[in-house]
């Protein structure tokens, strides 16, 4: 796969900023990630991961021996930077193993590029994966990233998403705005989670068809994941609601969704 962009694209003047997710935030925890990976063709395939964070999912992907892996860090965010020593060491070790197996160097690498416009060749990946990056961006920015993922996919390829959702689908718009604001404040980062219906509408606009979907509650405990991230945040909101005698169960308004998508024919 030729994944070297001819030139480094720059964000369009006046474009909204794209926001960084807190490191290693996976709304459905490792179980949801494993569910996704178990449904994707990874071995001997070209894989692109958007915003790989500290490499928890990268490590799992590389265990499946892809033909090549490219982790793309969005400039100006803290996720998956090529300067991250831990993540780069992980890539280096995988490349060393690949060399021993007679694979070309370097089959695996990291890149900084705008996830709305990576500058990479079209149809250069069999699988594109994104976890908890899009939930931190407004709908129009989500759509741009989704369309870029579709451009990068080869015919018959898959795009996998793992994101936070708001529940239920008919949640009052005023309450949606409140939950987003509360989540942003507690995470210390922009938060724009969608409902399941909102995701369905967005993937339709981006030209994707749904292959498989899974929705779950937030994990109540997972070292470095659930309690330290979204589930902990939701529980904080629930405690706050109880203190204020609010009747709405905040925790039930948050969940996790995994989507396996392919391009419409």
Q: What confidence tens digit (pLDDT) does each residue in 204-244 have?
A: 999 999 999 999 987 754 444 433 355 555 555 545 544 44
32 class by beta-carbon count within 10 Å (0-12 exposed, 13-18 middle, 19+ buried): buried
User: CB within 8 A of 59, min separation 6: which ones?
Assistant: 90
**Nearest C-alpha neighbor of 248 from the set 260, 236, 256, 237:** 237
pLDDT value at residue 96 = 86
Cα 211 to Cα 60, 73, 159, 167, 263, distances in angstroms: 22, 27, 10, 21, 10
pLDDT value at residue 2 = 43
Query: What are the structure tokens assigned to 59, written together?
Result: 């490590």
Measured in whole angstroms, the distance separating CA 213 from the mean position of its chain's CA atoms is 15
pLDDT value at residue 228 = 38
Residues of the chain with pLDDT under 70: 1-25, 76-84, 98-105, 220-251
Q: Half-sphere exposure (CA, 13 Å, Cβ side) for 197?
A: 6
> Measured between alpha carbons, how far is 13 from 166 in angstroms, rounded to an integer?
32
DSSP state, 148?
Answer: H
Structure-derived torsion over alpha carbons of residues 74, 77, 79, 85, reported in degrees to the nearest 10: 100
User: Which residue do the tokens 């694979």 mark?
Assistant: 103
pLDDT value at residue 190 = 83
Query: In this structure, what are the phi and psi dihedrals at residue 71, rounded to the nearest 5 degrees?
Result: -95, 125
pLDDT value at residue 74 = 86
**What's the fold here for domain 29-169+190-217+255-263?**
Rossmann fold (3.40.50)
pLDDT value at residue 27 = 83
pLDDT value at residue 113 = 95
């Amino acid at each position: 796969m030729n994944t070297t962009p001819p030139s480094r694209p720059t964000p369009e003047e006046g474009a909204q900023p794209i926001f960084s997710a807190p490191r290693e935030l996976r709304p459905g925890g490792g179980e949801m990630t494993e569910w996704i990976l178990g449904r994707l063709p990874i071995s001997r395939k070209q894989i692109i991961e958007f915003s790989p964070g500290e490499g928890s999912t990268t490590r799992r992907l590389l265990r499946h021996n892809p033909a090549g892996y490219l982790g793309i860090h969005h400039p100006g965010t803290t996720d998956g930077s090529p300067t991250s020593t831990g993540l780069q060491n992980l890539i280096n070790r995988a490349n060393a193993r690949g060399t021993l197996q007679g694979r070309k160097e370097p089959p695996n690498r990291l890149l900084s590029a705008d996830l709305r416009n990576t500058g990479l060749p079209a149809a250069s990946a069999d699988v594109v994966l994104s976890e908890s990056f899009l939930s931190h961006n407004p709908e129009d920015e989500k759509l741009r990233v989704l369309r870029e993922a579709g451009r990068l996919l080869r015919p018959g390829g898959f795009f996998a998403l793992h994101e936070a959702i708001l529940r239920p689908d008919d949640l009052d718009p005023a309450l949606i705005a409140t939950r987003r604001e509360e989540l942003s404040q507690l995470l210390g980062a922009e938060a724009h989670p969608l409902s399941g219906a909102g995701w369905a509408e967005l993937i339709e606009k981006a030209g994707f068809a749904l292959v498989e979907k899974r929705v779950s509650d937030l994990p109540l405990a997972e070292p470095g994941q659930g309690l330290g991230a979204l589930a902990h945040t939701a529980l904080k909101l629930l405690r706050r609601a109880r203190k204020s005698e609010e009747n709405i169960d905040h925790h039930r308004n948050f969940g996790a969704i995994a989507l396996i998508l392919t391009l419409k024919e």
